[in-house]
């Protein structure tokens, strides 16, 4: 028999944490697992949806702190996110369907560590960190890149929970998010991209950030490629080169698949399209 | 072990004991007899089980009933008043926006929810607004037209009840 708890505060929530804990926020993953026959008996199900402190977005010192149970729809509607991390607004807008966006949370999306998470590339774009609290009330922060180990696995310990996500404000950057799925709505991403660019006055790149997800076991930011682009102008040749490098790295990590041949031209076209959209 | 649950369903206070792992869909249909809410896929993809929770649409097949404590839920049964249909319902009939009717309650609620939030949506925005609902009979043209007619206030002065 499962044990269900519905705490009203974070403090109360921490008291319910046991080794057998399972968190439920939007339930858009867990309820589907339950339907598939996932056994929750003997588990402690902690419902996070009645904790007001766990939802909302705060702006502090050039950063946004997005509380774990903020829904995708809340993010789409949030003015600070729209201003400081447009790519995340765009990404959350592509999640599932209106019904899913109304329930699914950004903390849940990070916690389930799905390789096809749509918010993930946008969060990584902005040096996203996970803020974690344990049963004793001790907090720690970890970079998203380190937090996600492999599909479905994170460094979150049994006595811990995700409190929030912190991202850098990229207010001055031009940003874009692009997703490829089999259909427009309710599609799991096959490939998703987030990009941010800051240009110098002389039309050279001051800073660029490129993240690719879904095609890889773990969403990846391409630091090495980014570094080589600083100071360069965006020319056809540069775009071709970047697309080739990203495609090669994606294929090297993911291994050859039936879809590999299709992915290289797609990556090139997507990068072109995103640059055009950002008007750089 | 059962759990006590207090919620508001279609403006009525509901105080009920539910299984800890019960889905909202089952509580609505089996315990409250509100069978207008349908189960299609059961995994949150088809939208047949759409209800409005605290003003926003959700798939009741993937909502844990226990988590609805204190929530305000509206189902398709809420819409018609004193035998008069809601404009969205009337528009679905007038536009032949249904065939078997199984997906209709979900579409109607998604349409209403969209217009609540954005009273003047473009056709593209209507498509996005109903993107969480799947119809396998009629196609979507008539459904989009039905929502457009309500947007265009076609039902303001006729007999249909206005929310």
Q: Is the pLDDT of residue B60 over 80?
A: yes
Please list every residue in chain B whose beta carbon sits closer than 8 Å to the beta carbon of residue A49: 67
The count of structural domains within chain A is 3
The reported pLDDT for the residue numbered B43 is 95
The reported pLDDT for the residue numbered B160 is 55
Instruction: Residue A106: give its domain's CATH number.
Output: 3.30.465.10
pLDDT band at A240 (very low <50, low <70, confident <90, very high): confident
More confident residue, A180 or B122: B122
| Alpha-carbon distances of B159 from B80, B91, B95, B104, B107, rounded to whole Å | 12, 12, 16, 21, 22
The reported pLDDT for the residue numbered B157 is 55
Q: Is A279 left (phi over 0), alpha (psi -120 to 50) or beta?
A: left
Please list every residue in chain B whose beta carbon sits closer than 8 Å to the beta carbon of residue A102: 53, 56-58
pLDDT band at A1 (very low <50, low <70, confident <90, very high): low
User: Are B58 and B102 contained in the same domain?
Assistant: no
Instruction: Residue B91: give its domain's CATH number.
Output: 1.10.150.120
Instruction: Residue A191: give its domain's CATH number.
Output: 3.30.390.50
User: Are A58 and A163 contained in the same domain?
Assistant: yes
Q: What is the mean pLDDT of residues B121-130?
A: 97
* Alpha helices (runs of H) in A58-155, residue ranges in sequence order: 72-77, 79-84, 86-93, 98-103, 106-111, 119-125, 144-147
User: Are B92 and B32 contained in the same domain?
Assistant: no
B156 within a domain of the structure (yes/no): no
Least confident window among A35-39, A134-138, A185-189, A211-215: A185-189
- Look at strands A21-24 and A44-47 and give their pairing: parallel
The reported pLDDT for the residue numbered A181 is 81
Residues 93-152 of B with CB under 8 A from A: 110, 113-114, 128-129, 131-133
Domain containing A42 equals 3-47
Per-residue buried b or exposed e for A21-53, using 16+ beta carbons within 10 Å of the residue's own CB: bebbbbbbbbbbebeeeeebeebbbbbbbbbee
* A40-91: pLDDT as tens digits: 888 999 999 999 999 999 999 899 999 999 999 999 999 999 999 999 999 9
The reported pLDDT for the residue numbered A280 is 74
Residue B14, token pair as written in the block: 């509901």
Q: How many Cβ atoms are within 10 Å of A114's Cβ, its own excluded?
A: 20
B163 within a domain of the structure (yes/no): no
Please list every residue in chain A whose beta carbon sits closer than 8 Å to the beta carbon of residue B45: 97, 186
Phi, psi of A155, rounded to the nearest 5 degrees = -85, 5
Q: Looking at B76, B111, B139, which one is the last position of a domain?
A: B76
Q: What is the mean pLDDT of residues A12-24?
A: 96
d(CA A213, CA B15): 45
Q: Do B23 and A99 touch (CB under 8 A)?
A: no
Of A44, A10, A8, A16, the closest CA to residue A138 belongs to A10
- Angstroms from A28 CA to nearest CA on chain B: 6
Q: Do B62 and A49 touch (CB under 8 A)?
A: no
ipTM, two decimals: 0.94
User: Are B67 and B24 contained in the same domain?
Assistant: yes
User: How big is chain B, counted in residues?
Assistant: 163
Return the sign of the alpha-carbon dihedral for residues A222, A224, A225, A226.
positive
User: Are B56 and B108 contained in the same domain?
Assistant: no
The reported pLDDT for the residue numbered B83 is 87
Report chain B's mean pLDDT, rounded to a whole number: 94
User: Are A154 and A65 contained in the same domain?
Assistant: yes
- The H or E element that residue B72 is part of is strand B72-74
DSSP state of A74: H
Helix A260-278 and helix A236-254, axial crossing angle in degrees, nearest 10: 140
Q: Is the pLDDT of residue A187 over 80?
A: no
Q: Is the pLDDT of residue A161 over 90?
A: yes
* B66-102: pLDDT as tens digits: 999 999 999 999 999 888 999 999 999 999 999 999 9
The reported pLDDT for the residue numbered B81 is 86
Q: Do A103 and B50 touch (CB under 8 A)?
A: no
Q: What is the mean pLDDT of residues B127-137?
A: 96
| Alpha-carbon distances of B124 from A184, A262, B118, B127, B144, rounded to whole Å | 12, 29, 12, 5, 10
Of B108, B102, B4, B97, the closest CA to residue B51 belongs to B108
**Spatial contact of B95 and B141, defined as CB atoms under 8 Å apart:** no
User: Are A87 and A122 contained in the same domain?
Assistant: yes
Q: What is the mean pLDDT of residues B99-128?
A: 97
Q: Do A99 and B58 touch (CB under 8 A)?
A: yes
Domain containing B123 equals 87-151
Of A274, A258, A259, A277, the closest CA to residue A212 belongs to A274
Which residues on adjacent β-strands are paired with residue A141? A131
The count of structural domains within chain B is 2
pLDDT band at A141 (very low <50, low <70, confident <90, very high): very high
B6 within a domain of the structure (yes/no): yes
Phi, psi of A97, rounded to the nearest 5 degrees = -150, 170
Q: Do B44 and A28 touch (CB under 8 A)?
A: yes
User: Are B60 and B125 contained in the same domain?
Assistant: no
DSSP state of B102: S
Least confident window among B72-81, B111-120, B142-151, B152-161: B152-161
Instruction: Residue B70: give its domain's CATH number.
Output: 3.10.20.30
| Alpha-carbon distances of B21 from A28, B49, B64, B65, rounded to whole Å | 14, 17, 7, 7
Q: Is the pLDDT of residue B163 over 60?
A: no
Please list every residue in chain B whose beta carbon sits closer than 8 Å to the beta carbon of residue A73: 56
Residues 6+ apart with CB under 8 A from A195: A87, A125, A175, A176, A177, A208, A209, A210, A211, A271, A274, A275, A278
């Amino acid at each position: 028999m499962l044990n269900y708890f519905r705490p009203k505060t974070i403090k109360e929530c921490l008291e319910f944490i046991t080794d057998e804990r399972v968190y439920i926020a939007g339930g858009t993953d867990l309820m589907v697992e339950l339907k598939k026959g996932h056994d929750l008996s003997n588990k402690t199900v902690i419902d996070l949806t009645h904790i007001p402190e766990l939802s909302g977005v705060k702006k502090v010192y050039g950063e946004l702190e997005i509380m774990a149970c903020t829904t995708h729809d809340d993010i789409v509607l949030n003015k600070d996110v729209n201003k400081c991390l447009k790519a995340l607004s765009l990404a959350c807008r592509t999640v599932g369907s209106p019904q899913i966006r109304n329930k699914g949370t950004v903390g849940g999306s990070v916690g389930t560590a799905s390789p096809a998470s749509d918010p993930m590339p946008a969060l990584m774009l902005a040096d996203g960190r996970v803020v974690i609290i344990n049963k004793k009330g001790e907090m720690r922060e970890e970079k998203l890149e380190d937090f996600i180990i492999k599909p479905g696995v994170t460094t979150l310990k049994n006595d811990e929970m995700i409190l929030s996500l912190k991202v850098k404000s990229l207010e001055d950057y031009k940003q874009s998010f692009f997703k490829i799925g089999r259909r427009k709505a309710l599609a799991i991403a096959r490939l998703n991209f987030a990009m941010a660019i800051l240009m110098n006055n002389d039309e050279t790149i001051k800073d660029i950030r490129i993240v690719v997800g879904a095609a890889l076991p773990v969403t990846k930011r391409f630091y090495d490629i980014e570094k080589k682009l600083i100071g360069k102008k965006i020319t056809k040749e540069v775009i071709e080169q970047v697309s080739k490098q990203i495609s090669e790295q994606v294929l090297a990590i993911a291994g050859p698949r039936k879809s590999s041949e299709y992915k290289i031209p797609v990556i090139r076209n997507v990068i072109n399209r995103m640059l055009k959209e950002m008007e750089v | 072990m059962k759990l006590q649950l207090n919620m508001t369903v279609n403006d009525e206070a509901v105080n009920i004991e539910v299984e800890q792992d019960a889905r909202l869909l089952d509580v609505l249909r089996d315990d409250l007899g509100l069978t207008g809410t349908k189960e299609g896929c059961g995994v949150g993809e088809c939208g047949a089980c759409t209800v409005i929770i605290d003003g926003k649409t959700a798939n009741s097949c993937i909502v844990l009933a226990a988590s609805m404590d204190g929530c305000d839920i509206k189902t398709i049964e809420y819409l018609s008043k004193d035998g008069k249909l809601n404009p969205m319902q009337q528009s679905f009939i007038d536009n032949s926006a249904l065939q078997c009717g199984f997906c209709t309650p979900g579409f109607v609620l998604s349409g209403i929810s969209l217009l609540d939030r954005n009273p003047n949506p473009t056709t593209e925005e209507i498509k996005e607004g109903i993107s969480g609902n799947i119809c396998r009979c009629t196609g979507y043209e008539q459904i989009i037209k039905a929502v457009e007619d309500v947007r265009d206030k076609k039902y303001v002065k006729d007999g249909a009840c206005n929310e």
